[in-house]
Amino acid sequence: MKPLHTSSGDPNADRRADYAETLLASGDGAAAAELLLGALELAPQWAMGWFRLGEMQEASGRLDLAAQAWTMSMKLDPADRQGAALKLQLIGRGPVSLAPPSAFVETLFDHYAETFEEMLVGKLDYRLPEVLDAAIRKARLGRFRLALDLGCGTGLMGERLRPIVDRLEGVDISARMLRKARAKGIYDALTKADLQDFSYSGDKADLVTSADVLIYIGALERLVGTVAGLLVEGGLFAFSVERLADGGDFALQPSRRYAHSDGYVGRTLEANGFSIIALEPTTIRQDRREPVKGLAVVARKTHAV
Protein backbone atom coordinates (compact mmCIF):
# COMPACT_ATOMS: atom_id res chain seq x y z
CA MET A 1 0.00 0.00 0.00
CA LYS A 2 1.12 3.53 -0.69
CA PRO A 3 2.16 5.67 2.30
CA LEU A 4 -0.33 7.89 4.04
CA HIS A 5 -0.01 11.57 3.30
CA THR A 6 -1.33 14.48 5.32
CA SER A 7 -0.91 18.20 4.89
CA SER A 8 1.51 20.06 7.14
CA GLY A 9 -0.83 23.04 7.15
CA ASP A 10 1.79 25.15 5.40
CA PRO A 11 1.52 25.26 1.56
CA ASN A 12 5.23 25.98 1.15
CA ALA A 13 6.17 23.04 3.36
CA ASP A 14 3.74 20.82 1.46
CA ARG A 15 5.32 21.78 -1.87
CA ARG A 16 8.78 20.92 -0.59
CA ALA A 17 7.48 17.65 0.83
CA ASP A 18 5.89 16.74 -2.51
CA TYR A 19 9.18 17.33 -4.30
CA ALA A 20 10.96 15.26 -1.65
CA GLU A 21 8.59 12.39 -2.45
CA THR A 22 9.53 12.72 -6.13
CA LEU A 23 13.22 12.50 -5.25
CA LEU A 24 12.61 9.47 -3.04
CA ALA A 25 10.70 7.74 -5.83
CA SER A 26 13.67 8.34 -8.13
CA GLY A 27 15.94 6.57 -5.66
CA ASP A 28 17.67 9.58 -4.09
CA GLY A 29 16.74 9.16 -0.44
CA ALA A 30 19.48 11.46 0.84
CA ALA A 31 18.37 14.41 -1.31
CA ALA A 32 14.74 13.69 -0.41
CA ALA A 33 15.55 13.77 3.29
CA GLU A 34 17.46 17.05 2.94
CA LEU A 35 14.53 18.68 1.18
CA LEU A 36 12.00 17.38 3.69
CA LEU A 37 14.14 18.71 6.53
CA GLY A 38 13.70 22.13 4.95
CA ALA A 39 9.94 21.60 4.91
CA LEU A 40 10.00 20.64 8.58
CA GLU A 41 11.75 23.87 9.44
CA LEU A 42 8.56 25.55 8.21
CA ALA A 43 6.25 23.04 9.95
CA PRO A 44 8.15 21.60 12.93
CA GLN A 45 5.02 20.12 14.58
CA TRP A 46 4.14 17.93 11.58
CA ALA A 47 4.26 14.38 12.94
CA MET A 48 3.66 12.73 9.57
CA GLY A 49 6.46 14.78 8.07
CA TRP A 50 8.90 13.52 10.69
CA PHE A 51 7.73 9.97 10.05
CA ARG A 52 8.33 10.30 6.31
CA LEU A 53 11.72 11.86 7.03
CA GLY A 54 12.57 8.70 8.96
CA GLU A 55 11.63 6.57 5.97
CA MET A 56 13.76 8.73 3.68
CA GLN A 57 16.72 8.51 6.04
CA GLU A 58 16.23 4.75 6.22
CA ALA A 59 16.20 4.54 2.42
CA SER A 60 19.56 6.31 2.32
CA GLY A 61 21.02 3.95 4.95
CA ARG A 62 21.23 6.51 7.76
CA LEU A 63 19.51 4.53 10.50
CA ASP A 64 20.59 6.78 13.38
CA LEU A 65 18.94 9.75 11.69
CA ALA A 66 15.90 7.63 10.83
CA ALA A 67 15.54 6.67 14.50
CA GLN A 68 15.75 10.33 15.53
CA ALA A 69 13.01 11.28 13.08
CA TRP A 70 10.70 8.47 14.15
CA THR A 71 11.27 9.32 17.80
CA MET A 72 10.26 12.91 17.06
CA SER A 73 7.15 11.67 15.25
CA MET A 74 6.12 9.72 18.34
CA LYS A 75 6.83 12.71 20.59
CA LEU A 76 4.52 14.89 18.50
CA ASP A 77 1.87 12.17 18.19
CA PRO A 78 1.95 9.93 21.30
CA ALA A 79 -0.90 7.80 19.92
CA ASP A 80 1.52 6.96 17.08
CA ARG A 81 -0.91 7.01 14.18
CA GLN A 82 2.05 6.59 11.83
CA GLY A 83 3.33 3.40 13.47
CA ALA A 84 6.78 4.83 14.19
CA ALA A 85 7.29 2.45 17.11
CA LEU A 86 7.11 -0.48 14.71
CA LYS A 87 9.70 1.10 12.42
CA LEU A 88 12.02 1.60 15.39
CA GLN A 89 11.62 -2.04 16.35
CA LEU A 90 12.41 -3.20 12.83
CA ILE A 91 15.74 -1.37 12.79
CA GLY A 92 16.62 -2.54 16.29
CA ARG A 93 16.20 0.85 17.95
CA GLY A 94 12.99 0.24 19.88
CA PRO A 95 11.37 -2.33 22.18
CA VAL A 96 9.58 -5.40 20.85
CA SER A 97 5.88 -4.72 20.46
CA LEU A 98 3.33 -7.48 21.07
CA ALA A 99 0.82 -5.58 18.92
CA PRO A 100 0.84 -2.41 16.82
CA PRO A 101 -0.48 0.89 18.19
CA SER A 102 -4.26 0.80 17.88
CA ALA A 103 -4.32 4.32 16.47
CA PHE A 104 -1.98 3.20 13.68
CA VAL A 105 -4.31 0.37 12.63
CA GLU A 106 -7.39 2.60 12.80
CA THR A 107 -5.73 5.38 10.80
CA LEU A 108 -4.42 2.93 8.22
CA PHE A 109 -7.81 1.43 7.43
CA ASP A 110 -9.72 4.68 7.62
CA HIS A 111 -7.29 5.96 5.00
CA TYR A 112 -7.71 2.99 2.65
CA ALA A 113 -11.44 2.39 3.07
CA GLU A 114 -12.47 4.03 -0.20
CA THR A 115 -10.10 1.99 -2.38
CA PHE A 116 -9.68 -1.05 -0.16
CA GLU A 117 -11.63 -3.61 -2.18
CA GLU A 118 -10.36 -2.35 -5.52
CA MET A 119 -6.77 -2.73 -4.34
CA LEU A 120 -7.11 -5.93 -2.34
CA VAL A 121 -9.31 -7.96 -4.67
CA GLY A 122 -8.63 -6.31 -8.01
CA LYS A 123 -4.88 -5.81 -7.79
CA LEU A 124 -3.58 -8.02 -4.97
CA ASP A 125 -5.63 -11.11 -5.85
CA TYR A 126 -7.08 -11.48 -2.36
CA ARG A 127 -9.15 -14.67 -2.17
CA LEU A 128 -9.02 -15.51 1.54
CA PRO A 129 -12.79 -15.21 2.19
CA GLU A 130 -13.35 -17.92 -0.43
CA VAL A 131 -10.73 -20.14 1.20
CA LEU A 132 -12.17 -19.74 4.71
CA ASP A 133 -15.73 -20.16 3.45
CA ALA A 134 -14.81 -23.50 1.88
CA ALA A 135 -13.02 -24.60 5.05
CA ILE A 136 -16.00 -23.66 7.23
CA ARG A 137 -18.47 -25.54 5.01
CA LYS A 138 -16.19 -28.58 5.05
CA ALA A 139 -15.92 -28.48 8.85
CA ARG A 140 -19.66 -28.27 9.45
CA LEU A 141 -22.68 -28.72 7.24
CA GLY A 142 -25.81 -26.61 7.63
CA ARG A 143 -26.49 -23.15 8.94
CA PHE A 144 -25.09 -21.19 11.86
CA ARG A 145 -27.36 -19.43 14.32
CA LEU A 146 -25.00 -16.50 15.07
CA ALA A 147 -21.68 -15.56 13.46
CA LEU A 148 -19.34 -12.81 14.63
CA ASP A 149 -17.00 -11.42 11.97
CA LEU A 150 -14.08 -9.84 13.83
CA GLY A 151 -12.20 -7.25 11.81
CA CYS A 152 -14.98 -7.31 9.26
CA GLY A 153 -13.62 -4.40 7.20
CA THR A 154 -15.84 -3.64 4.22
CA GLY A 155 -17.63 -6.98 4.50
CA LEU A 156 -15.75 -9.28 2.13
CA MET A 157 -15.93 -12.18 4.60
CA GLY A 158 -19.47 -11.23 5.54
CA GLU A 159 -20.60 -11.62 1.93
CA ARG A 160 -19.47 -15.24 2.09
CA LEU A 161 -21.04 -15.89 5.49
CA ARG A 162 -24.45 -14.33 4.90
CA PRO A 163 -25.97 -17.31 3.02
CA ILE A 164 -25.15 -19.74 5.84
CA VAL A 165 -25.92 -17.71 9.00
CA ASP A 166 -29.18 -16.60 10.60
CA ARG A 167 -27.64 -13.57 12.31
CA LEU A 168 -24.39 -11.93 11.29
CA GLU A 169 -22.58 -9.28 13.34
CA GLY A 170 -19.41 -7.45 12.39
CA VAL A 171 -16.75 -5.69 14.45
CA ASP A 172 -14.02 -3.37 13.17
CA ILE A 173 -11.74 -0.63 14.46
CA SER A 174 -12.28 1.61 11.41
CA ALA A 175 -15.41 3.75 11.20
CA ARG A 176 -14.92 4.25 7.47
CA MET A 177 -14.62 0.52 6.85
CA LEU A 178 -17.81 -0.02 8.85
CA ARG A 179 -19.58 2.58 6.73
CA LYS A 180 -18.69 0.58 3.62
CA ALA A 181 -19.85 -2.65 5.25
CA ARG A 182 -23.13 -1.05 6.38
CA ALA A 183 -23.90 0.07 2.83
CA LYS A 184 -23.90 -3.57 1.68
CA GLY A 185 -26.79 -4.44 4.00
CA ILE A 186 -25.43 -7.87 4.86
CA TYR A 187 -24.82 -7.46 8.60
CA ASP A 188 -27.52 -7.47 11.24
CA ALA A 189 -25.32 -5.35 13.52
CA LEU A 190 -21.98 -3.56 13.22
CA THR A 191 -19.83 -2.39 16.12
CA LYS A 192 -16.73 -0.20 16.22
CA ALA A 193 -14.20 -1.77 18.59
CA ASP A 194 -10.51 -2.51 19.00
CA LEU A 195 -9.91 -6.26 18.97
CA GLN A 196 -6.95 -5.83 21.29
CA ASP A 197 -9.41 -4.83 24.02
CA PHE A 198 -12.71 -6.32 22.90
CA SER A 199 -15.71 -7.47 24.91
CA TYR A 200 -19.12 -8.69 23.78
CA SER A 201 -22.29 -8.95 25.86
CA GLY A 202 -24.60 -10.64 23.35
CA ASP A 203 -25.49 -14.28 22.92
CA LYS A 204 -22.72 -16.77 22.43
CA ALA A 205 -21.95 -17.48 18.80
CA ASP A 206 -21.50 -20.78 17.02
CA LEU A 207 -19.08 -19.23 14.49
CA VAL A 208 -16.39 -16.56 14.83
CA THR A 209 -14.32 -15.47 11.84
CA SER A 210 -11.30 -13.21 11.50
CA ALA A 211 -9.98 -13.04 7.94
CA ASP A 212 -6.57 -11.40 7.39
CA VAL A 213 -6.84 -9.58 10.73
CA LEU A 214 -4.50 -11.32 13.17
CA ILE A 215 -1.60 -9.99 11.10
CA TYR A 216 -2.15 -6.82 13.14
CA ILE A 217 -1.86 -8.66 16.45
CA GLY A 218 1.42 -10.23 17.52
CA ALA A 219 0.74 -12.16 20.72
CA LEU A 220 -2.50 -14.10 20.13
CA GLU A 221 -3.21 -15.45 23.63
CA ARG A 222 -5.56 -12.67 24.73
CA LEU A 223 -7.65 -12.60 21.56
CA VAL A 224 -7.93 -16.38 21.30
CA GLY A 225 -9.05 -16.47 24.94
CA THR A 226 -11.65 -13.81 24.16
CA VAL A 227 -12.92 -15.79 21.17
CA ALA A 228 -13.20 -18.92 23.31
CA GLY A 229 -15.48 -16.96 25.63
CA LEU A 230 -17.64 -15.82 22.71
CA LEU A 231 -18.35 -19.33 21.43
CA VAL A 232 -20.75 -22.05 22.49
CA GLU A 233 -19.25 -25.48 23.04
CA GLY A 234 -18.72 -26.99 19.61
CA GLY A 235 -18.55 -23.55 17.97
CA LEU A 236 -16.03 -22.83 15.23
CA PHE A 237 -13.27 -20.25 15.00
CA ALA A 238 -12.09 -19.67 11.42
CA PHE A 239 -9.21 -17.28 10.79
CA SER A 240 -5.94 -16.69 8.98
CA VAL A 241 -2.40 -15.66 9.78
CA GLU A 242 0.65 -14.91 7.73
CA ARG A 243 3.03 -17.83 8.09
CA LEU A 244 6.32 -17.50 9.96
CA ALA A 245 8.83 -19.90 8.48
CA ASP A 246 11.98 -18.97 10.41
CA GLY A 247 11.18 -20.33 13.87
CA GLY A 248 9.85 -18.65 16.98
CA ASP A 249 6.24 -17.88 17.83
CA PHE A 250 5.58 -14.64 15.97
CA ALA A 251 7.58 -11.83 14.42
CA LEU A 252 7.04 -8.34 13.06
CA GLN A 253 7.71 -8.23 9.32
CA PRO A 254 9.09 -5.29 7.27
CA SER A 255 5.48 -4.74 6.12
CA ARG A 256 4.67 -3.92 9.77
CA ARG A 257 2.39 -6.95 9.84
CA TYR A 258 2.96 -9.95 12.09
CA ALA A 259 3.62 -13.51 10.97
CA HIS A 260 2.90 -16.51 13.21
CA SER A 261 4.30 -20.02 13.26
CA ASP A 262 2.21 -23.18 12.84
CA GLY A 263 3.30 -24.45 16.25
CA TYR A 264 2.45 -21.23 18.07
CA VAL A 265 -1.00 -21.05 16.50
CA GLY A 266 -1.69 -24.68 17.44
CA ARG A 267 -0.46 -24.34 21.04
CA THR A 268 -2.42 -21.13 21.62
CA LEU A 269 -5.63 -22.70 20.36
CA GLU A 270 -5.20 -25.86 22.40
CA ALA A 271 -4.39 -23.87 25.54
CA ASN A 272 -7.74 -22.10 25.18
CA GLY A 273 -9.91 -25.19 24.75
CA PHE A 274 -9.86 -25.56 20.95
CA SER A 275 -9.18 -28.59 18.82
CA ILE A 276 -7.79 -27.95 15.34
CA ILE A 277 -9.92 -29.11 12.43
CA ALA A 278 -7.86 -27.56 9.63
CA LEU A 279 -4.55 -25.75 9.52
CA GLU A 280 -3.77 -25.41 5.84
CA PRO A 281 -1.10 -23.44 3.97
CA THR A 282 -2.60 -20.88 1.59
CA THR A 283 -1.70 -17.76 -0.36
CA ILE A 284 -3.38 -14.78 1.26
CA ARG A 285 -2.65 -12.10 -1.33
CA GLN A 286 0.09 -10.78 -3.56
CA ASP A 287 2.54 -8.19 -2.25
CA ARG A 288 4.96 -6.56 -4.70
CA ARG A 289 4.09 -9.36 -7.11
CA GLU A 290 5.14 -12.02 -4.60
CA PRO A 291 2.68 -14.40 -2.92
CA VAL A 292 2.12 -13.82 0.80
CA LYS A 293 2.15 -17.24 2.42
CA GLY A 294 -0.30 -17.88 5.21
CA LEU A 295 -2.39 -20.38 7.11
CA ALA A 296 -6.16 -20.86 6.91
CA VAL A 297 -7.29 -22.26 10.24
CA VAL A 298 -10.54 -23.73 11.51
CA ALA A 299 -10.75 -24.81 15.16
CA ARG A 300 -13.60 -26.15 17.28
CA LYS A 301 -14.21 -25.14 20.89
CA THR A 302 -14.24 -28.44 22.74
CA HIS A 303 -14.16 -27.33 26.37
CA ALA A 304 -13.90 -24.30 28.63
CA VAL A 305 -10.53 -23.45 30.16
Q: CATH 1.25.40.10 spans which residues of the chain?
A: 11-95
Q: Which of 102, 95, 46 is nearest to 72 (CA)?
A: 46
Look at residue 5 in the predicted model and tell me its pLDDT.
Answer: 62
Compute the distance between CA of residue 296 and CA of residue 303 in angstroms, rounded to an integer: 22
What is the rounded (10 degree) CA torsion for 9, 13, 14, 15? 150
State residue 122's pLDDT score: 83
Q: What does DSSP say about strands 165-172 and 189-192: parallel, antiparallel, or unpaired?
A: parallel
pLDDT of the chain, 305 residues: tens digit per residue = 445 567 888 899 999 999 999 999 999 999 999 999 999 999 999 999 999 999 999 999 999 999 999 999 999 999 999 999 999 999 999 999 999 999 999 999 999 899 888 888 888 889 999 999 999 999 998 999 999 999 999 999 999 999 999 999 999 999 999 999 999 999 999 999 999 888 898 899 999 999 999 999 999 999 999 999 999 999 999 999 999 987 799 999 999 999 999 999 999 999 999 999 999 999 998 888 889 999 999 999 998 77
Q: Rounded distance, CA 18 to CA 145, Å?
A: 52
- What pLDDT does residue 304 have? 78
For CATH 3.40.50.150, the residue range(s) in the chain are 115-301
DSSP designation for 244: P
Alpha carbons 155 and 287: distance in angstroms, whole number: 21
256, 261, 267, 271 alpha-carbon torsion, rounded to 10°: 10
Identify the pLDDT of residue 1.
44
Q: In this predicted structure, what is the pLDDT of residue 125?
A: 87
The CATH class given to the 115-301 domain equals alpha beta
Kindly give the interhelix angle for 47-59 and 11-25, rounded to the nearest 10 degrees: 20
- Considering the entire predicted model, what is its pTM? 0.92
CATH architecture of 11-95: Alpha Horseshoe (1.25)
